[in-house]
Amino acid sequence: MENIKSFELSKEFLESLQEGIENQQNDYIIQSLEGVNVADIAALLDELNMEEAIYVLRLMPSDVSADILIELEEDSVVKVIREMEAFELAKLIDQMESDDAVDILNLVHNKDREDVISHLQDKEKSAHIVDLLRYDEDSAGGLMGKEFIKANQNWNVIQTIEEIRRQAEKVEKIYSIYVVDNKQHLLGRVSLKKIILASSDTKIADIYEPEVFSVPTQMDQEEVAEIMRKYDLESIPVVNSKNKLLGRITVDDILDVIREQSEEDIQAMTGFSSDVEESDSIFRISKARLPWLLIGVVGGLMGSQIIGYFEDGLSKYIALASFIPLIAATGGNVGIQSSSLVVQTLAAKSVFEESILNRFIKGLLVALVNGLMLGAFVFCTVFFIYGFEFRFGLTVGIALFCVVLLASFMGTVTPLVLDKYGINPAMASGPFITTANDLLGLAVYFGVATLLLNL
C-alpha cells in the first residue's frame, strides 16, 4: 500500500516551496511533495501563481500531475490549461478516466479541443471522450465514465475472472460487475464475492442479480444524485433508450454534484447572481453581488417612502419609530425560517410528500401559534414594562402578529411558486424575502397604527 505523507499547508512551507521554484531546486521540490496526497498538493498549487503551479506540475510524473489537475479549483484549471501546449495537456488526459478527461476538456476552448484530442495516445480513450462530449454536462451522460467492468451472461467464472483482470487495468475502482447479453443490454449485476465463491464452470447467468438500478443518459444530474443518495449506491450504470449499457457514474462524481448544488443554493440564498469564488477578481465579485444589493437599496428607498407617508402620524406618536426595527427584523427572520424549511423539503422530494395545500395549512398553523405568542409577549412588554398606553401596546402586538402571519405566508409560498416555474427556490431565502417582508411589515405596522391610533 502506498504511504501517504502527513501534510499540513503552512506559510513557511509555501514560502520554502516558492524559494525552491525560484532557484529551480527540482530535487528539493520533488522530495518535499513525494508521498503527499494529490488533494493537498492541489490546495498548495492554488496558493501559487500560475507560472509556479505549472512549473511544479511539469516536474511531477504525468499520472500524479493528472490527478492534481483534477483536484484543482475550476478557475485554477482554466488558467493552467491556457498556459499548456496541446500535447502537454493530452499527456495528462491520457492518464485520466474518461469522465474526468471530459470535465477538463469542457474547460478548453472549442477550437483547441480537437487539437488536444488529436494528441491523445490512447485511441480507445480518445473515442470514449469524443462520445461523452456529445452529452449535456449536467446530465447522466455527461457525468458517466466509460471505464467499468462488464461480464457476458454466457461466460463461466474462469472466463469472467480473466476478463476482469483485462478490463481492470483501465478501471481505478471496481464497485460492481455489470452483466450484459450479446447485444450489450444491461441484465443485472454480480458481486465479486459471488464470483470468487462459485465453482469455475458456473455460468454468470446462474449467479447474477437481475435487480439493478440504472439511469438514462438524459436524466438530470441532480436526479441521479438523489437516486444514489436514497439507495446508498456507490455506482450506477447508465443506459440508452434501448437499455444498452453505455457507462457508469461513481459516488465521487455525485459528491461533486452535491457540493456544487449546495454552493449554488448558498449563493442564491445570500444574494449572488452568478457563481463566484473568493479568488475571483474584484469586478466579477462585485458584479455578482450588485443586483441583489440594488434590490435591497430600492426596497429601503420604498420603505422610507412608506415611513414618509405616515410622517404626520409619527409626529403624534414618536415612539412608533422605535419599534420599526422590531417589526422589520421579526418579519425577515420568520420569512427566512419558513422559506428555508420549504427549500429543504423541496431538495429532498419524496413520493409521499405533502400537497401544496397541506404545506400551506401547516405553515399557517405554525405562524398562528408563533404570532400569538410573540404578539402577546410584545404587548405585555410594551404595556406593563415600558408603561405605554393600552392602545399603543395593542397596536404593536397586533401588528407583530399580522407581520408574522404575512411573513410566514410569503416564506412558504414564494419558494413553492419558484420551484413550480423551474427557478431555484433557494433564491427565496435571501434578499428577496427579506426586502419584501420589510416593505410589507412596514405597511402592516402603519396600517394597524392608523386603525387603532387614528394616525
pLDDT in tens, 341-357: 777 777 665 544 556 67
Sheet with 215-216: list strands edge to edge: 215-216, 235-239, 245-250
- 428 pLDDT band (50/70/90 cuts)? low
> Is pLDDT of 255 > 90?
no
The type of residue at 61 is P
Delineate the domains of the chain, giving CATH numbers in brackets: 11-142 (1.25.60.10), 149-253 (3.10.580.10), 282-453 (1.10.357.20)
| Percent residues over pLDDT 70 in the chain | 89
> Is pLDDT of 272 > 70?
no
Given this model, what pLDDT does residue 352 score? 44
> Is pLDDT of 299 > 50?
yes
Q: Which three-class secondary structure string do you get for the chain?
A: CCCCECCCCCHHHHHHHHHHHHCCCHHHHHHHHCCECHHHHHHHHCCCCHHHHHHHHHHCCHHHHHHHHHHCCHHHHHHHHHHCCHHHHHHHHCCCCHHHHHHHHCCCCHHHHHHHHHCCCCHHHHHHHHHHCCCCCCEHHHHCECCCEEEECCCEHHHHHHHHHHHHHHCCCCCCEEEECCCCEEEEEECHHHHHHCCCCCEHHHCCECCCCCEECCCEHHHHHHHHHHCCCCEEEEECCCCEEEEEEEHHHHHHHHHHHHHHHHHHHCCCCCCCCCCCCHHHHHHHHHHHHHHHHHHHHHHHHHHHHCHHHHHHCCHHHHCHHHHHHHHHHHHHHHHHHHHHHHHCCCCCCCCHHHHHHHHHHHHHHHHHHHHHHHHHHHHHHCCCCHHHHHHHHHHHHHHHHHHHHHHHHHHHHHHHCCCCHHHHHCHHHHHHHHHHHHHHHHHHHHHHHCC
Given this model, what pLDDT does residue 416 score? 80
Residues shown for the chain: 455
Instruction: Say if CB 378 and CB 401 are below 8 A apart.
Output: no
> Is pLDDT of 44 > 60?
yes
Q: With left for phi above 0 and alpha for psi between -120 and 50, is residue 272 left, alpha or beta?
A: beta
Given this model, what pLDDT does residue 351 score? 43
Given this model, what pLDDT does residue 344 score? 72
Query: Who has greater pLDDT, 410 or 291?
Result: 410
Averaged pLDDT, 128-134:
93
Given this model, what pLDDT does residue 427 score? 62
Given this model, what pLDDT does residue 241 score? 93
Q: Are strands 245-250 and 186-190 parallel, antiparallel or unpaired?
A: unpaired
The type of residue at 297 is V
Given this model, what pLDDT does residue 1 score? 39
Q: With left for phi above 0 and alpha for psi between -120 and 50, is residue 263 left, alpha or beta?
A: alpha
pLDDT in tens, 60-93: 999 999 999 999 988 889 989 988 999 999 999 9
Range of lowest pLDDT (18-22, 26-30, 270-274, 339-343): 270-274
- 129 pLDDT band (50/70/90 cuts)? very high
**Quick one: angle between helices 282-309 and 431-453, nearest 10?**
10
**Average pLDDT in the chain:** 86
> Is pLDDT of 32 > 60?
yes
- What are the cell numbers at 316? 403624534
pLDDT in tens, 360-414: 788 789 899 999 999 999 999 999 888 888 999 999 999 999 999 999 988 888 8
> Is pLDDT of 199 > 60?
yes
- 268 pLDDT band (50/70/90 cuts)? low
Given this model, what pLDDT does residue 434 score? 80
User: What is the pTM for the complete model shown?
Assistant: 0.67
> Is pLDDT of 127 > 70?
yes
